Amino acid sequence: MILQGIPASGGCALGPVVMLEPAGADVDVTARSTRPVPESLDRLSAAVAASRDDIVAIAATARERIGAENSAIVEAQLLVLDDPEWLDPVVAAIRDGATPEGAVWAVSQEVAGLLAALDDPYLAERSADVLDVGQRVVGHLTDRRRAPVLAGLEGDVIIGAYELTPTDTLALDLEVVRGIVTEVGSRTAHAAIIARQLGIPAVVGASGLLDAVCSGDVVLVDGDQGTCTLDPGDAEVARARSVAAARANQAVIVERVATSDGVEIVVLANAGSILDVERAVGWGADGIGLFRTEFLFMQSEAPPDEEEQAAYYAAVARAAQGRPVTFRTLDIGGDKPVPGLHVEAEANPFLGVRGVRLTLADRDLFAAQLRALARTAAAYPEISVMVPMVSGLEELDEVRALLAECAGETAFRFGTMIEVPSAAVLAAEVAAEVDFLSVGTNDLTAYVLAADRGNTRLDYLYDEFHPAVLRTLRLIRVGAGATPVSICGELAGDPRALALLVGLGYHRLSVSGPLVPVVKERVRELEAAGTADGVAAVLAARRRTDVTAALDLLAPRG
């Protein structure tokens, strides 16, 4: 039996499922208590106190695992726990003869329902918090807590649930949880976001899960296809194992690698959170080639101030344990709204006020970020900073002027992304002004071909192997000259592109964390000197089909 859901986090996982029961689901809210009211109130107080201890502990874990900025999600739950709007009706219902668990669950559902009905995304989130708190208190009252279930797991398991609450997700033991499947949820749900950060395959919105699956059943979660297969057949299991092996069982290579003829290739990882950085270190990354700073801004309800940012960036640098980290300044625009930041809706956000265009228009915001990064660089000199969406020297001049004003021009190694075609054409001029370049192949491809990557009708056109894109990569590499240049788009981790990129002279590749061991292994098998003919053939290609033929010349022998 196959349940179709939404692919929320890529990869395959196979194992016995552990179903998390919602603690409140089977509470009879109409039951009358057979115990005296004072006893019920005492039990309520004890359960509330125990829940408070839980939440304080989870908040501490959250600070460690996902940073102080995100632990606010959890801390808001403490305010719910002794909120009179929640607590008073619970007490009133108990005085009225309800059981403590019945009162807690009924009031939690009612309050959550009221908040959800207000049609405000922030309040809808609080609605989930109220249910999460209610469930926790009911769990203590009925002695059916979820946390010990989560903590006591062994072996490789798949977690199944109606939905995973924020605190559930934070409590997952990464050593044993191999996959996640939920009955409801969306790609943007908290659990889905965290699953992607952690590299745990996940399927959400698998309708029928609760009816079809019990704890102990073996399921196959395919986070690429968005399916959950109950009792998978041998062929499906074999396929899942090969996907999982390719992703996970690759031996980690901690040291730097070189091609068989001695060309050192630096293999970096892309990251968006402290946890990503920790995982990247675990996968043997030589550093972080692209740290996206948007996450901090997305997760906070108001733009984080200089202090918060400085603390966060320092934690990122610490997590890299001395390896270099390249921070990209805020890369948002009309297509990526950020809470608390007013970004004008635009007819064409893709060609609108994005990246450095936006931060230069909001000087206070940009200055705070540059100052926070400068403070981080003072303590962690191995970090560097780059700005996204630069289209020419004028923007660089402006950024430098602002930097000189707020932090000093030599506060950190300073570089620029190359993703706008005009900057690619001017690569030599741009390179002369900065310490390094980093090519964002995703946006570069889209802009060179004028094709939105997300538009499925243009799938045939958006192609990183288009001859024009590959010639642009050569243009940038030649223009960069002696200035260090890296590649940080999807292409950097594409096995078909490795020989070509190395042959073109790109010796710094920044890839998604789990790909680091694979790329390092392939680098060792590659002979850089042997790529010349293939590279020449690729650059001579007139059509996409010529590129395919030329890439065969670069394919590993045997």
Partner 1 sequence: MTATRTVTIADPQGLHARPAADFVTASRDFECDLEIQVGDKSGNCKSLLSVLKLGIAHGTLVTLQATGTDEERAVTELAELLGHQVQGTSSP
Query: Which residues contact partner 1 by CB under 8 A?
Result: 72, 76, 79-80, 83-86, 111, 114-115, 118, 120, 122-123, 126, 130, 300-302, 339-340, 342
Spatial contact of 278 and 545, defined as CB atoms under 8 Å apart: no
Closer of 126 and 323 to partner 1 (Cβ): 126
126 vs 371, which CB is nearer to partner 1? 126
119 vs 154, beta carbon nearer partner 1: 119
Contact 132, 166 (CB under 8 A): yes
Whether 228 sits among the annotated catalytic residues: the reply is no
- Residue closer to partner 1 by CB (options 33, 167) is 167
Cβ atoms within 10 Å of 395's Cβ, excluding its own: 20
Contact of 205 with 181, CB cutoff 8 Å:
no
In order of 169, 298, 324, 492, the CA distances from 513 in angstroms are 21, 21, 15, 12
Closest approach, Cβ 411 to partner 1, in A, equals 29
Question: From CA 542, how far away is CA 553, in angstroms rounded?
Answer: 16
CB of 376 to partner 1, least distance (A): 23
Distance of CA 549 to the CA centre of its chain: 35
Q: Which of residues 120 and 405 has its CB atom nearest to partner 1 in the complex?
A: 120
CB distance 86 to 137 below 8 Å: no
Least Å from the CB of residue 123 to partner 1:
6
119 vs 234 by CB, closer to partner 1? 119
Two tokens at 288?
Answer: 């972080």
Smaller CB separation from partner 1, 127 or 512? 127
Among the listed residues 12, 228, 406, 488, the single catalytic one is: 488
CA dist 273 and 462 (Å) reads: 28
Helix, strand, coil distribution of the chain in percent, nearest 5: 50, 15, 35
Q: How far is the CB of 340 from partner 1 (least distance, A)?
A: 6
Closer residue to partner 1, CB minimum distance, 134 or 289 = 134
Contact 339, 301 (CB under 8 A): yes
CB of 70 to partner 1, least distance (A): 13
Answer whether 36's CB lies under 8 Å from 95's CB: no
Q: How far is the CB of 495 from partner 1 (least distance, A)?
A: 44
Would you say 131 and 105 are in contact if contact means Cβ atoms under 8 Å apart? no
Catalytic residue list contains 190: yes
Token reading at 239: 């396929």
| DSSP symbol at 34 | -
Minimum Å distance from CB 363 to partner 1? 16
Q: Hey, is 258 helix, strand or coil? A: strand
Cβ proximity to partner 1: between 302 and 432 the closer is: 302
Of the residues 190, 228, 406, 466, only one is catalytic, namely: 190
Residue 81 to residue 52: CA distance in whole angstroms:
7
Tokens of 35: 């115990």
Which among 391, 382, 389 has a CA at the least distance from the CA of 412? 382
CB atoms within 10 A of CB 31: 12
Structural contact between residues 500 and 473, judged by C-beta atoms closer than 8 angstroms:
no
Task: In angstroms, give the least distance from the CB of 111 to partner 1.
Answer: 6
**HEC string of 336-355?**
ECCCCCCCCCCCCHHHCCCH
| Distance in Å, CB of 68 to partner 1, minimum | 13
Q: Is 553 helix (H, G, I), strand (E, B) or coil?
A: helix
Q: How far is the CB of 378 from partner 1 (least distance, A)?
A: 28
Taking the C-alpha atoms of residue 87 and residue 104, their distance in angstroms, rounded to an integer, is 8
Q: At its nearest, how many Å lie between partner 1 and the CB of residue 287?
A: 33
CB of 88 or CB of 231, closer to partner 1: 88
Q: Buried (b) or exposed (e) across 466-478, using 16+ Cβ within 10 A?
A: bbebbbbbbbbbe
Give the three-class secondary structure for 290.
strand
User: Which one, 13 or 111, has the nearer CB to partner 1?
Assistant: 111
3-class DSSP string for 87-100 = HHHHHHHHHCCECH
Q: How far apart are CA 448 and CA 422, in angstroms?
A: 10
Length of the chain: 558
Q: What is d(CA 369, CA 377) in angstroms, rounded to the nearest whole number?
A: 12
| CB atoms near residue 514 (< 10 Å) | 19
Known catalytic residues? 190, 488
